[in-house]
Structure 1
Amino acid sequence: MEAVLRPIAVVGGSIVVTFVLVWLIDRTLLRIDTRRPETPLWGLLRRCRIPLQLMLTFALLLGTYDQTRIPLVLDHAVGIGQFLTLVLIAATAWLLVRAAAAIVDSSYARYAAGARDAARVRRVRTQVTLIQRVVTAVVIVVAAASMLLTFPQMRAVGTSVLASAGLVGIVAGIAAQSTLGNLFAGLQIAFGDMVRIGDTVVVDGQWGTVEEITLTFLSVRTWDERRITMPVSYFTSKPFENWSRGGAQMTGAAFFHLDHSAPLEKMRQHLHELLQECPEWDARSWSLVVTDTTPSTIVVRALVTARDADALWTLRCKVRERMIEWLRTEHAYALPRITTAPAAPAGGPPDTVPSDPTDGPHGLRGR
């Protein structure tokens, strides 16, 4: 009877104690979160329940599994102990990653709620995202190394591995110089404030918004919803346009090729009235001037301002459409015209121009 009750007591007791402890911790976090809703940390920490349960369960089993007195367990005590140790290390790493993510998300949420500068919020978001990825990578590497060191064979070769670490490091550095370059470029982007998540950029002639930044690559979502994935080292080695740096406000122009008789003063008045009806215009500035002239047309530039790149694109399109429609209906003479001449008669010389039918002895002028 004891041979049956003892294993049940050991295993069942470990599970019950784990669930009771996790339940108490979860209730405590829920109560604190209810009392302090302005701090999201306590609610985010409740996501760590599952890795915490695994860690406590396998920690208790690792300390008590030999008390089951089961012959099969005693015969394979070393293998079972190593298995429990591996799972315990993995659960601990999972718990640390979840806890770090909760702390980072909580810190960013509190900062974003009280910050007024959108550009600085994007900068902090980029930095905390990369810090979280670095912490996750370090935890995974340390956990993997700890799991490998639980094997006696790995501990035995530890001395030789350390002795050759210098040579291996040189070889690995040469082989992975591109990866290491991207890694350091990612850190440089995060803390150098070169580009941030949410920035509007132009790279290789493609206009888009930075959607994701990792330690090795950067993803840009273009205006037509395509995704361009680029190594982060591109942004530290080549020039690119960042339309969000220094503020999201932008100035743009719409050009019109018109006849020399275009009513410029009326166009200025109509442009001002049009802009006041457009919600995309931020009322900072506007103008309408002639920037160039040709023998047949003049080039008129309408300058407008908007709060960001998306609003500016929409505003420029509206200005073009409504100004052209207004000119077509109210001042059609202002639209450019092409002067043409009749074609030469068939069989005649190419430069021969037919005479006016009113000329000659039988024309109106000849009478």
Structure 2
Amino acid sequence: MWQEWLQFAIAIAIAVVGAVALALIVTGAMRLFVRKRQWPASLITRARRPFRAFVLVIGLWVAIAVTFPDPSWLPALNQAMTILTIVVGAWLVGAMVLFLSDLALGRYRIDVPDNRVARRIRTQTLILRRLAIAIIVVLAGGAILLTFPEVRAVGASVLASAGIASVIAGLAAQSVLANMFAGIQLVFSEALRVDDVVVVEGEWGRVGEITLSYVVLDLWDERRLVLPCTYFTTTPFENWTRDGSAILGAVELDVDWRVSPSKMRDQLTRILADTDLWDGRTAVLQVTDAVAGYVRVRVLVSAVDAPTLFDLRCSVRESMVTWMQRTMPAALPTQRVLLTEASGEIAEPEEPRPDTGGLFTGSAEAVERASAFTQAIPVVGGAGGGEGEETRSS
């Protein structure tokens, strides 16, 4: 009897040594390619441990199936090794998915100026990676359950009532499935991508992460705003980097009527020429309003992206205010108050002004024009307004 256990121990040792040797040979062969290519290093990092575990489990399983002394234990050991093989195999497949996604992410960098395509590829790759990992876990769990005969028997009865079960599961997971499909829709419709600049709920920020259930926004003040994926498929939002990062912005100033817009345009040209924030596309100064005692001047400038534009607008506003204080103080906003001296004397009535004519008075044509708006309107005759009402008609 002890000879059989000795043979089993020797087989286990041979399996372990063989698995370690095979793993070292494969790792060494992969390292030969590192000198010429970079992807083998990433593959080794991701798949080294799960590959070694998978080879070791297969070797142990073969040794147990061939040399285990007690046949009565073989069914339970085979089931245990099957479950262990499924777990390690799922780990290895998941590592390969991570390796392939790392290759895709490494080829498309988002830390470059023109990164629209890279952001699209990165977003889709991250969603597909999460979806693939979820599918691998679900399949591995189902395969493990099917190794139990009792579960297979129950599965047959469950399949018979699959219609009712699917309806119940659909109602229970309605919000989860809605967010999952909304996340997939966002990614492949390119409505939202990682690193996009968006304005949501009055908050400005960048898309930091898109999952199958929620979207994380990195706000400008280092806060994080987490929203469900269904929000972006049912609610309008602003995407400032949909087709590119370049953007326009306005600076508005309320100044006095004595301002000189031409001098302000010259000063704007000098300000933009001295800054690196301006991208050289747009520089416009216009008077957009002139009521209520003020003249409103709008400066329209452009920059390569939204953060740069914010700094540019602040710089232009500050430079304009400083320049006006120094060279054009008369143009600063002024409120005028008319002071009159109170008197107890009764003012004499003013002389009546001559009627110079208007749109509906002063000429026969004006009176005729006015009659078009006063046809069939009752007119009260006399000061008392009692009797004598007439109806004006044309």
TM over 0.5: yes
Q: Please give the per-residue CA displacement for 1:43-83, whole angstroms capped at 9, x wherever unaligned.
A: 22112011111111111112212555456xx5544333322
Tell me how far apart the structure 1 counterparts of residues 77 and 316 of structure 2 sit (CA, whole Å).
Answer: 75
Q: How does 1:197-236 map to 2 (within 5 A)?
A: 197-236=194-233
Q: 1:281 is paired with a residue of what secondary structure?
A: coil
Tell me how far apart the structure 1 counterparts of residues 254 and 343 of structure 2 sit (CA, whole Å).
Answer: 33
Aligned residues: 341
Q: Please give the per-residue CA displacement for 1:271-315, whole angstroms capped at 9, x wherever unaligned.
A: 111111221110011011111112321111111000011111110
Tell me how far apart the structure 2 counterparts of residues 307 and 219 of structure 1 sit (CA, whole Å).
Answer: 24
TM-score, with length taken from structure 1: 0.87
State the one-letter code of the partner of 2:157: S
Tell me how far apart the structure 2 counterparts of residues 276 and 15 of structure 1 sit (CA, whole Å).
Answer: 72
Tell me how far apart the structure 1 counterparts of residues 324 and 170 of structure 2 sit (CA, whole Å).
Answer: 66
Q: 1:34 is paired with a residue of what secondary structure?
A: coil
> Who is 2:36 aligned against?
35
Q: Does 1:131 align with 2:128?
A: yes
Instruction: Give 1:206 shift.
Output: 0.9
> Who is 2:186 aligned against?
189
Instruction: Give 1:112 shift.
Output: 4.7
User: Quick check: 79-88 or 149-158, which moved more?
Assistant: 79-88
Q: How does 1:23-62 map to 2 (within 5 A)?
A: 23-37=24-38, 40=39, 42-46=40-44, 47-62=46-61
Work out which of the residue numbers 276, 281, 284 in structure 2 matches 1:279. Answer: 276
Tell me how far apart the structure 2 counterparts of residues 171 and 104 of structure 1 sit (CA, whole Å).
Answer: 35
State the one-letter code of the partner of 1:100: V
Q: 1:79 is paired with a residue of what secondary structure?
A: helix
Larger RCO: 1 or 2 (CA < 8 Å, sep 6+) = 1
Residue 27 and residue 158 in structure 1: after superposition, are their counterparts in 2 closer, same or farther (change >3 A)? same
Work out which of the residue numbers 113, 118, 124 in structure 1 matches 2:115. Answer: 118
Preserved contact between residue 12 and residue 60 of structure 2 (Cα < 8 Å): yes
> Who is 2:380 aligned against?
none
> Who is 1:163 aligned against?
160
> Who is 2:314 aligned against?
317
Tell me how far apart the structure 2 counterparts of residues 172 and 282 of structure 1 sit (CA, whole Å).
Answer: 54
Tell me how far apart the structure 2 counterparts of residues 270 and 184 of structure 1 sit (CA, whole Å).
Answer: 53
Tell me how far apart the structure 1 counterparts of residues 76 and 5 of structure 2 sit (CA, whole Å).
Answer: 22
> Who is 2:88 aligned against?
91
Work out which of the residue numbers 217, 238, 241 in structure 1 matches 2:238. Answer: 241
Preserved contact between residue 54 and residue 88 of structure 1 (Cα < 8 Å): no
Instruction: Give 1:259 shift.
Output: 0.8
Tell me how far apart the structure 1 counterparts of residues 342 and 21 of structure 2 sit (CA, whole Å).
Answer: 105
Residue 130 and residue 298 in structure 1: after superposition, are their counterparts in 2 closer, same or farther (change >3 A)? same
Tell me how far apart the structure 2 counterparts of residues 52 and 333 of structure 1 sit (CA, whole Å).
Answer: 79
| Greater Rg over alpha carbons, structure | 2
Tell me how far apart the structure 2 counterparts of residues 303 and 131 of structure 1 sit (CA, whole Å).
Answer: 41
Q: 1:212 is paired with a residue of what secondary structure?
A: strand
Q: 1:225 is paired with a residue of what secondary structure?
A: coil
Q: Does 1:336 align with 2:337?
A: no
Preserved contact between residue 5 and residue 68 of structure 2 (Cα < 8 Å): no
Instruction: Give 1:339 shift.
Output: 3.0
Q: Does 1:297 align with 2:294?
A: yes
Q: Does 1:101 align with 2:102?
A: no
Q: Please give the per-residue CA displacement for 1:6-62, whole angstroms capped at 9, x wherever unaligned.
A: 34322222221111111111122221232224xx2x222112011111111111112
Unpaired segments ≥5 residues, structure 2 = 345-394
Q: Does 1:260 align with 2:261?
A: no
Preserved contact between residue 256 and residue 334 of structure 2 (Cα < 8 Å): yes
Preserved contact between residue 284 and residue 305 of structure 1 (Cα < 8 Å): yes
TM-score, with length taken from structure 2: 0.81
Residue 352 and residue 58 in structure 1: after superposition, are their counterparts in 2 closer, same or farther (change >3 A)? same
Tell me how far apart the structure 2 counterparts of residues 116 and 327 of structure 1 sit (CA, whole Å).
Answer: 36
Tell me how far apart the structure 2 counterparts of residues 298 and 116 of structure 1 sit (CA, whole Å).
Answer: 38
Tell me how far apart the structure 1 counterparts of residues 5 and 206 of structure 2 sit (CA, whole Å).
Answer: 64
> Who is 2:140 aligned against?
143
Tell me how far apart the structure 2 counterparts of residues 216 and 127 of structure 1 sit (CA, whole Å).
Answer: 15
Preserved contact between residue 254 and residue 333 of structure 2 (Cα < 8 Å): yes
Residue 339 and residue 14 in structure 1: after superposition, are their counterparts in 2 closer, same or farther (change >3 A)? same
> Who is 2:375 aligned against?
none
Tell me how far apart the structure 2 counterparts of residues 289 and 259 of structure 1 sit (CA, whole Å).
Answer: 15
Q: Please give the per-residue CA displacement for 1:67-112, whole angstroms capped at 9, x wherever unaligned.
A: 55456xx554433332222221111111101101111221332355
Tell me how far apart the structure 1 counterparts of residues 239 and 113 of structure 2 sit (CA, whole Å).
Answer: 21
